[in-house]
Amino acid sequence: MEISQGGDDSYQKKFALPVDSEHKATEFRLFSVAAPHMRAFHLSWISFFACFVSTFAAPPLLPIIRDNLDLTATDIGNAGIAAVSGAVFARIAMGTACDLFGPRLASASLTLLTAPAVYCTSIANSAVSFLLVRFFTGFSLATFVSTQFWMSSMFSARVVGTANGVAGGWGNLGGGATQLIMPLVFDLIHHIGATKFTAWRIAFFIPALFQTLSAYGIFFLGQDLPDGNYSQLHKSGDKHKDNFAQVFHHAVTNYRGWILALTYGYCFGVELTIDNIIAQYFYDRFNVNLHTAGIIAASFGLANLFSRPGGGMLSDLMAKKFGMRGRLWTLWIVQTLGGVFCILLGKVGSLGVSIAVMLIFSVFVQAACGLTFGVVPFVSRRSLGIISGMTGGGGNVGAVLTQVIFFRGSRYSTETGLTLMGVMIICCTLLITLIHFPQWGGMFCGPASKSTTEEDYYMSEWNSAEKEQGFHKASLKFSENSRSERGKRIGSAPTPNNSTPDTYV
């Protein structure tokens, strides 16, 4: 157990995990629920899981819902697109909210605000109302951003990839689990005596209640930062309330955020698209029954149990040896391979091989998601929330784009759509070659110069007036802690000649 002293506090803070100078945990212990680090981890992945279950609760029950609400195939397709499009802007807004109010309040608020949409799914009575409830429920997928932000605030550079990967992956698991949970709940309620058209409505109370309870858990048991909550830290002066315009400006002017947003659309966006279309693909092409198609669809999402966390861990492993350049190379390789297996998936004609290719494809595409969020925490320190939100939102944009281009109407058969989607994945992933950090380098180039430091990069987000007031201190600590992204060069690397200006009041 390491004991760290809080800056000006008169009492010592004890943490159950070893921490760095920002009090972020330097180890990730999966089976611990110690406050604040591991507790934050478990609260965030469980609430994100609940939101995923709610957002994709309708697809497995569609055979009943489409008869009850008299839906056409177009209605169903539009509702599926609506479910993932709401989160595009919600994720960016969530990023801002995290930067300004902290992940705890931001995610608890969103989860509670979208719970009514899930409760009201029970009273939907037309195609329009069905589309609206799926649209508003889909906003809850923005809790992904608060999850990643929270993990990036609680865990140090050494383990942030792992923490982000496991939290994101286990949350995404909800998309697979719901394909098994909802039919079971429906069957149970139907057996108890409700007619089919009532049983599915009652079934939606389960994900809704789960969501509400997880919001309560986050509010009462969670904490924004290792040192406390934003509201307390703001009032006590330990954390200053940042200026939205500045935070926004530094996010949108950082080209790396835009590149990652686009490439995330071709791993996570592709994952969402597959969640929506894969059951029908197997049902139509290979004539399996709906139940079997549902199980196959579930297994795609369930691979998230280990594949996305695996991506995060791989990112951290590569960073140990090769630093940020290792993270970028691994991301490019894994996501490109995901594209290759997507092309294959469309070409394969037999059921067994198709399932095998789909599972391999799911592992690569989900690992790429984990690898992406091994890079995101380093793009910006001041605007971490908005960058996370942009990247997350880009994922949903990718889902909307691929569904509209390849899987709507009868322009392409589903298998052709899959192959073309694979080609698009490979092309868009090439953009990762353009990402370059002046202090660490990019895929093909080394650092800008021998003397560029982490401080140079992160301090450029603050102007001199802000530095005079000491607002940049957190970024300074982060710069120091991110030196591990140099890889094995860490010993011979330059350190800043103007060290911490602790003479500022």
Partner 1 sequence: MAFPGFLLALFLLSCLAASCCGVTFSSLQDTLIVTASPQPGQVLKAGEDKITVTWALNTSFPAGIDSAYGTIKVKLCFAPISQQDRAWRKTVDNLKKDKTCLHKIVAKPYSTSNNTFTWTVQRDVPTATYFIRAYACNSADEEVAYGQTTDSHKTTNLFEVQAISGRHVSLDIASVCFSAFSILSLFGFFFLEKRKAKASQTK
Of 94 and 314, nearer to partner 1 (C-beta) is 94
Of 68 and 292, nearer to partner 1 (C-beta) is 68
- Nearest approach in angstroms of CB 478 to partner 1 is 25
Provide the token pair at 329: 């190379």
Q: Is 286 in the site for partner 1 (CB under 8 A)?
A: no
**Amino acid letter for position 22:** E
CA-closest candidate to residue 417, choices 366, 425, 267, 179: 425
- Nearest approach in angstroms of CB 291 to partner 1 is 15
CA-closest candidate to residue 53, choices 199, 210, 196: 210
Query: HSE of 103 in the Cβ direction (CA atoms, 13 Å)?
Result: 34
Cβ-contact 106, 408 below 8 angstroms: no
Q: Is 232 in the site for partner 1 (CB under 8 A)?
A: yes
> What are the residues facing 4 on neighbouring strands?
13
Binding mask 25-64 for partner 1 (x = CB under 8 A): --------------------------------------x-
- Nearest approach in angstroms of CB 421 to partner 1 is 21
Output the CA–CA distances (angstroms, integers) from residue 251 to 184, 255, 395, 461, 475, in the order listed: 44, 9, 17, 10, 15
Q: How far apart are CA 371 and CA 168, in angstroms?
A: 11
Q: How far apart are CA 264 and CA 21, in angstroms?
A: 31
Q: How far apart are CA 418 and CA 424, in angstroms?
A: 10
Q: Which of 144-152, 227-235, 330-338, 342-350 is the region at the interface with partner 1 (rule: CB under 8 A)? A: 227-235
Cβ-contact 199, 73 below 8 angstroms: no
> Which of 201, 239, 381, 382: binder of partner 1 (CB under 8 A)?
201
> Which of 129, 212, 246, 299: binder of partner 1 (CB under 8 A)?
212
Q: Which of 50-58, 113-121, 308-316, 488-496 is the region at the interface with partner 1 (rule: CB under 8 A)? A: 113-121
> Which of 100, 105, 203, 400: binder of partner 1 (CB under 8 A)?
105
Cβ-contact 159, 25 below 8 angstroms: yes
Q: Which of 46-54, 205-213, 302-310, 412-420 is the region at the interface with partner 1 (rule: CB under 8 A)? A: 205-213
Q: Is 144 exposed, middle or buried (0-12, 13-18, 19+ CB in 10 A)?
A: buried
Concatenate the DSSP letters of all residues of 392-446 into one string: HHHHHHHHHHHHHHHSSTTSS-HHHHHHHHHHHHHHHHGGGGG-EETTTEESSS-
> Which of 67, 244, 255, 451: binder of partner 1 (CB under 8 A)?
67
- The answer to whether the peptide bond before residue 36 is cis (omega within 30 degrees of 0) is yes
Which 116-135 residues touch partner 1, going by CB under 8 A?
Answer: 116, 119-120, 122-123, 125
Of 236 and 500, nearer to partner 1 (C-beta) is 236
Q: Is 414 in the site for partner 1 (CB under 8 A)?
A: no
Q: Is 240 in the site for partner 1 (CB under 8 A)?
A: no
Q: Which of 103-111, 297-305, 411-419, 454-462 is the region at the interface with partner 1 (rule: CB under 8 A)? A: 103-111
Of 140 and 315, nearer to partner 1 (C-beta) is 140
> Which of 30, 73, 353, 356: binder of partner 1 (CB under 8 A)?
73
- Nearest approach in angstroms of CB 281 to partner 1 is 13
Provide the token pair at 471: 């607002």
- Nearest approach in angstroms of CB 219 to partner 1 is 5
Chain positions contacting partner 1, by CB under 8 A? 63, 66-68, 70, 72-74, 105, 108-109, 112-113, 115-116, 119-120, 122-123, 125, 195-198, 200-202, 205, 208-209, 212, 215-216, 219, 229, 231-232, 234-236
